[in-house]
């Protein structure tokens, strides 16, 4: 069985990280899995995957991922594989159109990684979505919440869907060594309380609330943002306006997330909605308390194993951060329950579920 994973590009998002960790596992287990990128611009994740030499990596060039030329560039690959597994918009449109135009018999499936889909709110795109999804042989949803939203949106029968929860590489996190804080930046020292926010700067995230919360916290509390995206500049501008440049650092895309999490004292994810929130599980597994917005995709995952704050409420977030710092028993309990939760999400188990499901399609 030959499977082609298709995604827009190989940035440092959650979907990309899942592929980075699962493609080597699939191939080690005897499943032939390769990767096709609409845009093959070099990235830290891509360098890591190439270094493992575990699969073929194809790039359709450096065009915008929204360029319809990708439809025709995908077609030759459909003859070489049994299954095409696509991730993220617009890749999920282009694969459907490529299959229709070429009359290919390849099986196609899509993984829905987020509960937040702007196309649902747009009448025109919602209708196109409903049409496109009909051509998929299966739709994988990473949580029950995502399944409910997408099934309601597409109005497709329930047997078209499968829920497979994400997993993380627990071994990498367990073996990761923390940095000294001043190894990350000369603005940090060991006495600082270090907060970390790992996420892409996109419309789905809400980093501004974390920045505003920093205004309400003591000056020995520092924050590092890990990730990149088209809205990073907006957040950097806010930091400058609030004169927080000496307390908030932007590290960009990093491949040493496990080490950074082990170095931090508290992990935060401020979001408008998630599919699963891999960083939630990674943070819990790292043995630090995790705080998240009380939104779909995070609420069910974090409740009882982390701390939730009201979406967009910097006062609530600042209060929780202070409580974790000042109340040792509370902090220890959050860490303990988080580590227990994380053990339920092993990437090896997730990979086995996918392999088993792939076999049902053929």
**For 150-198, what is each residue's pLDDT tens digit?**
999 999 999 999 999 999 999 999 999 999 999 999 999 999 999 999 9
Question: Residue 118 has what pLDDT?
Answer: 78
Same-domain pairing of 127 and 211: no
Indicate whether 161 and 265 sit together in one domain.
no
- Do 296 and 216 fall within a single domain? yes
Residues 230 and 159 in one domain: no
Same domain, 20 and 141: yes
Q: Are residues 193 and 150 in the same domain?
A: no
Same domain, 185 and 322: yes
Percent of the chain with pLDDT over 90: 89
> Do the Cβ atoms of 266 and 291 come closer than 8 Å?
yes
- List all residues 6 or more positions away from 263 whose beta carbon is below 8 Å from its beta carbon: 178, 179, 180, 181, 184, 194, 196
Within this chain, do residues 154 and 176 fall inside the same structural domain, yes or no?
A: no
SS (H, E, C) the chain: CEEEEEECCCCCCHHHHHHHHHHHHHHHCCCEEEEEECCCCCCHHHHHHHHHCCCCEEECCCCCCCCCHHHHHHHHHHCCCCEEEEECCCHHHHHHHHHHHHCCCCEEEEEECCCCCHHHHCHHHHHHHHHHHCCCCEEEECCHHHHHHHHHHHCCCHHHEEECCCCECHHHHHHCCCCCHHHHCCCCCCCCEEEEEECCCCCCECHHHHHHHHCCCCCCEEEEEECCCCCHHHHHHHHHHCCCCCCEEEEECCCCHHHHHHHCCEEEECECCCCCCHHHHHHHHCCCCEEEECCCCCHHHHCCCCEEECCCCHHHHHHHHHHHHHCHHHHHHHHHHHHHHHCCCEHHHHHHHHHHHHHHHC
CA pair distance 333, 338, nearest whole angstrom: 8
The CATH number of the domain where 318 resides is what? 3.40.50.2000
What integer pLDDT is reported at residue 233 of this predicted model? 97
Residues 39 and 146 in one domain: yes
Cα–Cα distances in Å, from 292 out to 247, 260, 270, 345? 21, 18, 6, 18
Domain limits for position 198: 170-342
In this structure, are 255 and 313 located in the same domain?
A: yes
Distance, in Å, from the CA atom of 17 to the CA atom of 22, rounded to the nearest integer, reads 9
Same domain flag for 132 and 192: no
Other Cβ atoms less than 10 A from the Cβ of 124: the count is: 8
Q: Which residues of the chain have pLDDT under 70?
A: none
Per-residue model confidence (pLDDT) at position 114: 81
Angle at 322 between CA 319 and CA 325, to 5 degrees: 150
- Show the tokens assigned to 147: 């399944």
The whole-angstrom separation of Cα 362 and Cα 357 is 10
Residues 163 and 200 in one domain: no
Contact between residue 195 and residue 207 where contact means Cβ atoms under 8 Å apart: no
Count the domains in the chain: 2
Q: Which tokens is 286 given?
A: 């790292």
Residue-level pLDDT at 12 = 77
């Amino acid at each position: 069985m030959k499977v082609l994973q298709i995604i827009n590009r190989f940035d440092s998002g959650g979907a990309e990280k899942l592929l980075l960790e699962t493609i080597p596992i699939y191939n080690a287990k005897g499943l032939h899995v390769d990767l096709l990128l609409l845009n093959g611009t070099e990235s830290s994740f891509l360098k890591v995957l190439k270094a493992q030499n575990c699969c073929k990596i194809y790039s359709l060039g450096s065009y915008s991922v929204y360029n319809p030329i990708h439809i025709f560039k995908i077609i030759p690959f459909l003859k070489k594989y049994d299954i095409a597994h696509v991730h993220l918009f617009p890749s999920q449109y282009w694969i459907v159109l490529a299959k229709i135009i070429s009359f290919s018999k390849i099986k196609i499936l899509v993984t829905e990684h987020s509960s937040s889909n702007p196309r649902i709110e747009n009448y025109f795109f919602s209708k196109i979505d409903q049409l496109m999804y009909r051509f998929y042989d299966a739709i994988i949803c990473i949580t029950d919440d995502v399944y409910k939203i997408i099934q309601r949106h597409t109005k497709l029968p329930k047997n078209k869907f499968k829920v497979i929860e994400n997993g993380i590489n627990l071994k990498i996190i367990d073996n990761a060594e923390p940095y000294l804080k001043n190894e990350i930046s000369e603005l940090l020292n060991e006495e600082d309380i270090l907060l970390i926010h790992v996420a892409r700067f996109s419309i789905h995230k809400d980093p501004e609330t974390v920045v505003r919360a920093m205004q309400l916290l003591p000056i020995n509390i520092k924050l590092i943002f890990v990730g990149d995206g088209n809205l990073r500049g907006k957040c950097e501008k806010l930091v400058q306006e609030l004169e927080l440049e000496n307390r908030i650092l932007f590290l960009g895309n990093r491949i040493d997330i496990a080490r950074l999490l082990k170095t931090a004292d508290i992990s935060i994810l401020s979001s408008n909605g998630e599919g699963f929130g891999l960083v939630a599980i990674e943070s819990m597994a790292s043995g630090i308390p995790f705080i998240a917005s009380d939104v779909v995709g995070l609420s069910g995952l974090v409740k009882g194993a982390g701390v939730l704050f009201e979406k967009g409420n910097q006062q609530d977030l600042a209060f929780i951060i202070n409580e974790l710092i000042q109340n040792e028993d509370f902090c220890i309990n959050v860490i303990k329950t988080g580590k227990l939760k994380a053990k339920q999400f092993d990437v090896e188990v997730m990979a086995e579920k996918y392999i088993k499901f792939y076999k049902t399609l053929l």
